[in-house]
Amino acid sequence: MGALRTRSSLAIPLTWLFNVLGLLDLINAFYQGLSNNVQLAAAYYIPTFIVPALVITHLMIFRMLLRHPR
pLDDT in tens, 29-53: 877 777 767 677 777 777 778 888 9
CA pair distance 64, 47, nearest whole angstrom: 25
Domain range holding 31? Answer: 2-67
What is the model's pLDDT at position 24?
Answer: 95
Reported pTM? 0.76
63: Cα separation from own chain's centroid: 13
The pLDDT assigned to 16 comes to 93
Distances (CA, A) of 66 to 25, 27, 69, 70: 21, 21, 8, 10
- CB atoms under 10 Å from CB of 26, counted, come to 18
Tens digits of residue pLDDT in 15-28: 999 999 999 999 88
Residue 17 or residue 70, greater confidence = 17
Specify the pLDDT at position 67. Answer: 92
The domain total for the chain is 1
Tell me the longest C-alpha to C-alpha distance in the chain.
Answer: 47
| Non-local CB neighbours of 40 within 8 Å, separated by 6+ positions | 46, 47
